[in-house]
Structure 1
Amino acid sequence: EPVFPVFNFSRWFLFSSLRSNRIEWCYEARIRSTVLQGLPFGGVPTVLALDFMCFLVRLTCISWDYGRLALVSDLNGLCTKDFCVCMSVSVCVRCIYVVCFLRDDEIREKCGEDAVHYLSFQRHIIGLLVVVGVLSVGIILPVNFSGDLLDNNAYSFGRTTIANLKSGDNLLWLHTFFAFFYLLLTVYSMRRHTSKMHYKEDDLVKRTLFINGINKYSEEGQIKEHFQQAYENCVVLEARICYDVARLMYLDSERKKAERSRKFYTDLMTREHIPTMINPKPFGHLCCCIIKGCEQEEAVGYYTKLECKLREEYKSEREKVNTKPLDMAFVTFQNETMTSVILKDFNACQCHGCHCRREPKSSPFSSNLQTSKWTVTYAPDPQNVYWEHLSIGGAKWWIRCLVINCMLFILLFFLTTPAIIISTMDKFNVTKPVEYLNNPIITQFFPTLLLWSFSALLPTIVYYSAFFEAHWTRSGENRTTMHKCYTFLIFMVLLLPSLGLSSLDVFFRWFFDKTFLDNATVRFECVFLPDNGAFFVNYVIASAFIGNAMDLLRIPGLLMYMIRLCLARSAAERRNVKKHQAYEFQFGAAYAWLMNVFTVVMTYSITCPIIVPFGLMYMLLKHLVDRYNMYYAYLPSKLDKKIHSGAVNQVVAAPILCLFWLLFFSTVRTGFLAPTSMFTFVVLIITIIICLSHIVFGHFKYLSAHNYKVNVSVWSTFMSHIIYTVWQARVVSLYLSINLRIMFPSGRHPRGEDSLIDNEVHQ
């Protein structure tokens, strides 16, 4: 009969209490890991110098054409003073200088409200780290220096860590107190941040509801009559059913690209009076000879035929739009009060047996509309919606999401951390004895650089998994990216390397296998080895200099830009690619990266206080880099408030992990029943219960704690135009060229691609 492995807590505490001095074992195990090696001050000075030099080298790359191409997408169509300054010779220095003095109002006008909230979040994190740095370096660091457990060497990194104190030292109570105090400081800082998150009146709409689950064959008039009859004094301004316009939007986009290319070559032939020949095959411009299958065609004729073909397909699809309704609709009411009443009626819980939702108010149309199956929420902002993804829903969306995330989990299950690569490099080191590798460049710089490289590469896979899930809104996509990337980064960067584990596979074996602790080579004493903290200090330094420099270069965008240039079939298409390579700022990935480094810094702020100044340095550079990128390199995006609130809830995990690290250290050094261990354990449990209660019970609220405020019917105007254009089978062209200009008379451009197209055509 199979025996399922169960984690035995009593045996784990017995294992930790029967500890012995295994420092020699940890250093002798460097064949298994290059992280745990005794080096002068942990190799921090060498890594700091190398990373700073790399940072300076990468700054010289910012003045390339790629760094300025995104500036072509000036949203207001004007060459402002700041824009002209950035196009000058000293583009890097002057642009950073300008960004340092930008006011929030300027950023809000250029980049949107979400950019202001994100930068405010960073400023509060910076202020928090300033206070934590003063306390950690001014109080905790001298306390650690006062110990005499480690060597009295001025160059010993271990003297700065908590490992320098004896297990029974009363000064350990000070560390526990400060860990709890840091938790309170974090909560207070985030509270100040959320109190300043005020949206403009025209940013979020409370008079329009998004209804999902309606009968596909319902009529808009029936929906309107249902609400007006079921709810007293209810006035419905508009009820609009959604249609599947994904292919229609795609065909219209391709048709306009062909039209622009035809116009480009027509103008060229008018000027030069010479027809241009192109090879329309993929990578055709790379062919150096004319062979069968790679024949050249006259450019104007080719794009004229392509445009006619796409126009016919567009007309055919346009006629089918009305026959492809979706089970969702947008309903705009006269006032906010009625919207709140209806929202409460559909979402209030009243348990009866197995059913937890009460039946909403009915009307003679309820049966035909299937109101009992409706899911009613506030309508997202029009700029926040992926209209082409609305047709992917129900079981189809869940199956798609399940398959993508299963593939992602299998990949990350075995490739969680670069410790696998590091240990493999050690095992196959046949050129030099291991003793000759006791060098900071080999043992600290390359492992931390490799860790940063993996922590930059693999989250990109996580991001694209969220992209292929086809979320209905940009906010949902960014929230999913933020939570998945942050969880993955914490496991890869912090938890598993700290525990001496190489992947989730080893982690689950360690946690559940009852024989693993007896036979495994994991030694918990090695977790708090002094040089283990130095590894994370070096990681933060690498993130500060190399990571932020790579953010300035925007490597993922550069790679996509190169691929699109290679796939372009003609000079006209390459011209379009150069003008359309700017994309929206990814708040989800940015939040995940920021909170990952912040969590590492806070977790080791007590056990290794010297990490805090480097964490503050990272945050300052990150703040300047993000201000520069959002203002000059990215298009503005429109999200909802949930992603910013989710980041606030998620950042509290950092001081909680700090408490957990102290509990782990105290348990290993003094045992679980020691006073410091018990006190830390009680504080940790109370904190987790409070946080979970706040998050879990918050999900049961059918209204957000942050109320939407609006006085103008943005959605009424938008839905009137967008559905009318669908009904007239010109949804994309009129929506992008006329309707959004009506909605945004001040000139704010909600989406970047089509403004770039218009600018290009009229040049």
Structure 2
Amino acid sequence: MKFWDHGRIALVTDNERVMEEGQANENTPIEPPEAEQGSFSWIPFTINLSDDQIKAKSGQDAVHFLSLQRHMIFLLSIHSAISVLVILPVNWSGFLLRGVVAHIGRTTIGNLAIGNNLLWVHPLFSIIFLILTVFVLINHTRQVKNRRKETTRNTLMYCSVPKTAKEEDVKAHFTEAYPTCEVTAVTLGYDVTELSNLDQKRIESGEKVSYYEHVLAKTGNSRINPHVCSHLCCFCDFEEVDAIEFYTNIEQGLLQKMRNQLEKEPPRPLGMAFVTFKTNAMARLVLKDFNAVKCHTFCCGRKPKSSSKSEGLKVTNWRAEFASFARSIKWKNLAVKGFKWTGQFLFVNLALFALVTFLTTPAMMVNTLGRFNVTAPVTDFMIPIVSQFFPTLLLLVCSSLLPAIVHHSTDWESHWSSSSEQLSTMRKLYFFLIFMVLILPSVGITSIAGLFQWMIQLLIHGVGTVKFTCVFLPDHGVFVVDYVITAGFMGSAMNLLRLPELLLYSIRLVFARSAAERKYIKQNQAHEFEYGAMYGWTLCVFTVVVAYSIICPIITPCGLLFVMIRHFVDKHNLYFAYLPNPLDSHVHMEAIDMVLAAPIICLMLLYFYFFLTAGFLSPIAMFPMVFLLIVVVVCITHKLSGYFKCLSPHNYKSAGHSCRIRHKLLSVHTASDLMSWHTNFTANWVMASLS
């Protein structure tokens, strides 16, 4: 059974949904036949997948995600060619480590003596890499910008709306204040978290009733054993019941709970309104008026156009932003706002920082296990080849725990949209992994706690114990190469197998009470693709590879192999294993910034090496420092005032001021899909009240 279609669960989910909606015929396959012609036919099928097929199955965001990986492959191909053909022979020509024949240190920059003119090759090529990265990313950024231009946005979200406001008054205000802008729909936001959960369970029960009505018409029997694990227990004698009656009673009970909930406590207004205009130009005109700052005699502030309803609606307090896809909005989190959201956000991230700092830093966990000789009994029975990679493998396993921790911590932050959630995950995961894998091990610190200890010693006693020259030790190059190779093979294999998801899937199927429940579990097993986690992990390894591409050039072919394997695995999972996850373009733009940061970090490492070995005022140290300062000034000036946009890989228009910082990510795209959820849910309320 191929583990209950675990490897193609997204295709099964899509097919069953299409079949239920009556949009497919009997010959509709649940999987492309090319992928079923042999045991390994899915490999060439995945390799030959086109962007049009990916877009049709997983959306435009998947195309942007894979396109960035292809640009990374192109960059690493050039890095590998130059590193192996130019920088590696230059490093090998040195004599400092010539006595050790098989030592990897002979391939590093540490093999060249200070004062050797060949050292100028390293800063020169690091600058070339940075310029090349900018020009290569321009092509990818153009694709993202074109998507933004093609996107239609005509629904605005307003916050700080009085909770006593009515839809008629809101529509009358916009009609009177903006006579040239036609309002097609106004929807007020309500806290329907509990009701939506009950309604989802009621829909699930209704689907099971429909399933057994079809079974009854086909076989004449609809009796089941509704006990947990009854289909696995051959010796248990449980009484069978009629499935249609069983699930109908559950559905009626849920309807009664919905009625009781409505009578006990009607949905609480959230102080939010979704206003849909006829065209995108109208929506932009209104948004521009709300975000414009108007100065008077003694003060400046926002003062949108008024109407006879403005005073009662307190329009001057409103904050406007483009609304997101209904599928992207986290409806249950809309009720969390104000000081409650801020306090929850700070508490979650401070707790995460403390946990990662003092408990779950991979290098610290490895050292702790070694201090108590936990791994000694294991390594004693290993062959030399396995024991050589065991510390790196242990570090990779510990690092793999971080995405799960960060992801669950992001859930507790109660983001309003999937885009903001994925962006938060990507940022935290990227910076934590960079600290764990690149920065802290490079300076000889095993954890962030050790970094704090060094800073306190330096400030109080004036003496620190950190030796920054550890970043240039030849043995550390071996560690980085091993880490990239292990991440490329072991990490990608784990992502391809998705063993934790398979385990959870198996447990849910075992505890299902009937065939209808197993069908429902199978249909809803596929999850949306986690762009934040995948972006963060891939960009971390890419940054490590590029950062060490000059100091230890042998790492670049390993990094190229990692990104190629990762690209194949992600393409397979996007098509076969995960559902589409619509995102705002800010997520892809920030990923581009992280790719651009890799050659800048490479230049910084090179500067620190020359600073520590040749001196601050040496010409070879001043050359990368001056160029690095120029890059920093250009980046800061671009972010603050918009100058030097021609030197940036992306140049896009801002969407105006945000309601709040996290509202900035609620920027997209349609009107009808945003209202459909509220409309369908209101219909369910009416049905629940009349049943």
TM-score by shorter chain over 0.5: yes
1:314 aligns to what? Answer: 258
2:14 equivalent among 74, 88, 104 = 74
Cα distance change, pair 597–221 in 1 and its aligned pair in 2 (3 A): same
Query: Which residue in 1 is equivalent to 2:195?
Result: 248
| Counterpart code for 2:423 | R
Aligned ranges 1:393-542 → 2 under 5 Å: 393-429=337-373, 441=385, 444-514=388-458, 521-542=465-486
Percent identity over the alignment is 42
181-190 vs 260-269, which moves further: 260-269
Name the CA shift for 1:200/1:679 in 2 (closer, same or farther; >3 Å).
closer
Aligned counterparts of 2:681 and 2:306: Cα–Cα separation in 1? 30
What per-residue deviation string (whole Å, max 9, x for no partner) do you get for residues 194-220 of structure 1? Answer: 112255699733222111111111122
- Residues of 2 paired with 1:178 and 1:519: CA distance? 36
- Give the match's secondary structure for 1:325: strand
Q: How many residues align?
A: 659
Give the corresponding residue for 1:106: 53
| Secondary structure in 1 matching 2:392 | helix
The separation in 2 between residues aligned to 1:286 and 1:552, in whole angstroms, is: 29
Give the corresponding residue for 1:216.
Answer: 163
For residue 134 of structure 1, what is the aligned residue in structure 2? 81
Q: Could you say which residue in structure 2 is the equivalent of 1:13? A: none
Do residues 165 (structure 1) and 112 (structure 2) align?
A: yes
> What's the counterpart of residue 278 of structure 1?
226
Q: What is the letter of the counterpart of residue 492 of structure 2?
A: N
Give the Å deviation of 1:519. Answer: 6.5
- Greater mean alpha carbon deviation, residues 554-563 or residues 316-325: 316-325
Secondary structure of the corresponding residue to residue 243 of structure 1: strand
What are the Cα deviations for residues 495-526 of structure 1, in whole angstroms up to 9, with x where unaligned?
11111211111112223432688766533333
CA distance in structure 2 between the partners assigned to 1:236 and 1:471 by the alignment = 28
Match of 1:654 in 2: 598
Structure 2 counterparts to residues 377-392 of structure 1, below 5 A: 377-392=321-336
* TM-score normalised per structure 1: 0.78
Instruction: Report the CA distance shift for 1:267/1:437 in structure 2 as closer, same or farther (over 3 A).
Output: closer
Deviation by residue 1:7-51 (Cα, 9 ceiling, x = unmatched) = xxxxxxxxxxxxxxxxxxxxxxxxxxxxxxxxxxxxxxxxxxxxx
Q: After superposing the two structures, state which structure 1 stretch, 407-416 or 117-126, moved more.
A: 407-416
Q: Do the aligned residues in 1 keep the contact of 2:457 with 2:463 (CA within 8 Å)?
A: no
Q: For residue 660 of structure 2, what is the aligned residue in structure 1?
A: none
Letter of the 1:469 counterpart: E
Shift of 1:443: 5.7
Which runs of 5 or more structure 2 residues have no equivalent in the other structure?
643-650, 658-667
**Equivalent-residue separation in structure 2 for 1:434 and 1:264 (angstroms):** 52
Q: 1:703 aligns with which of 643, 652, 655?
A: 655
Q: What is the distance in 2 between the residues matched to 1:402 and 1:434?
A: 41
User: Offset at 1:240?
Assistant: 1.8
Amino acid at match of 1:505: A
Q: CA deviation at 1:442?
A: 5.9
Q: Which residue of 2 aligns with 1:258?
A: 205
Q: 1:430 to 1:101 in 2, by over 3 A?
A: closer
- Letter of the structure 1 residue corresponding to residue 41 of structure 2: R
Where does residue 178 of structure 2 map in the other structure?
231
Code of the aligned partner of 2:490: I
Match of 1:686 in 2: 630
Q: Tell me, yes or no, if structure 1 residue 631 matches structure 2 residue 575.
A: yes
- Structure 2 partner of 1:179: 126
**Aligned Cα RMSD in Å?**
3.6
Cα distance per residue 1:90-144 (max 9 Å; x no partner):
1xx2112012122211211111111111111111111111111111111111110
Distance in 1 (CA, whole Å) between partners of 2:298 and 2:465 is: 50
Choose the corresponding residue for 2:35, options 86, 94, 100.
Answer: 86
Q: How far apart are residue 242 of structure 1 and its match?
A: 1.8
In 1: Cα distance, 2:225 partner to 2:464 partner = 68
Q: Please state how far the C-alpha of 1:602 moved relative to its aligned partner.
A: 0.6
State how far apart, in whole Å, the 1-side matches of 2:115 and 2:687 are: 71
Contact 1:422 1:447 in 2 (8 A): yes
Provide the C-alpha distance between the structure 1 equivalents of 2:687 and 2:65, rounded to a whole number of angstroms. 31
Change over 3 Å in CA distance of 1:519–1:339 after alignment to 2 = same
- Is residue 2:537 matched to residue 1:593? yes
The letter for the 1-side match of 2:467 is: R
Are the equivalent residues in 2 in contact too, given 1:223–1:239 (CA < 8 A)? yes
The alignment partner of 1:513 has SS state of: helix
Q: Which residue of 2 aligns with 1:717?
A: 672
Question: How far did 1:485 drift?
Answer: 0.8
- Write out per-residue CA displacement over residues 386-425 of structure 1, whole angstroms, 9 at most, x where no aligned residue: 2233222222222222222222111111135322233234
CA distance in 1, matches of 2:641, 2:184: 34
Structure 1 residues 334-343 or 465-474, which shifts more?
334-343
Compare 612-621 and 173-182 and name the one that shifted more. Answer: 173-182
Which one is further off, 213-222 or 64-73? 64-73
Using structure 2 for the length normalisation, give the TM-score: 0.86
Report if the CA contact (8 A) 1:208-1:379 is conserved.
yes
| Cα pair distance change 1:566/1:653, threshold 3 Å | farther
Question: Is the contact between residue 148 and residue 585 of structure 2 (CA under 8 Å) also seen in structure 1?
Answer: no
Of residues 561, 565, 569, the one that matches 1:617 is 561
Choose which of 43, 46, 67 in structure 2 pairs with 1:120: 67
The separation in 1 between residues aligned to 2:186 and 2:612, in whole angstroms, is: 64
Instruction: Give the distance between the partners of 1:526 and 1:517, measured in 2 at CA.
Output: 22
**CA deviation after TM superposition for structure 1 residue 539, in Å:** 0.8
Conserved 8 A contact 2:288-2:656: no
Q: CA, structure 1 residues 628+651, in 2 after alignment: closer, same or farther (shift >3 Å)?
A: same
The Cα of 1:637 is off from its aligned counterpart by 2.0
Kindly provide the amino acid, as one letter, of the partner of residue 638 in structure 1: P
Contact persistence 2:324–2:669 (CA under 8 A): no
CA contact (8 A) 1:414 1:503 kept: yes
Within a 5 Å distance, the mapping from 1:321-332 to structure 2 comes to 323-332=267-276
Q: 1:415 to 1:567 in 2, by over 3 A?
A: farther
Partner AA of 1:577 in structure 2? I
Q: CA deviation at 1:567?
A: 4.8
> 8 Å contact 1:459–1:489 — kept in the other structure?
no
CA–CA distance in 1 between the matches of 2:267 and 2:199? Answer: 19
Distance change (3 Å), C-alpha of 1:690 and 1:322: farther
Q: How does 1:363-378 map to 2 (within 5 A)?
A: 363-378=307-322
Residue 384 of structure 1 aligns to a residue whose secondary structure is coil
The answer (yes or no) to whether the contact 1:417–1:451 under 8 Å persists in 2 is no
When structure 1 is superposed on structure 2, of 296-305 and 142-151 the one drifting more is 296-305
Q: What secondary structure is seen at the aligned counterpart in 1 of 2:144?
A: coil
Aligned counterparts of 1:284 and 1:434: Cα–Cα separation in 2:
41
Aligned residues of 1:444 and 1:538 also touching (Cα < 8 A): no
> Which stretch has the larger CA shift, 621-630 or 419-428?
419-428
Q: In structure 2, do the counterparts of structure 1 residues 664 and 200 end up closer, same or farther at CA, with 3 Å as the change threshold?
A: closer
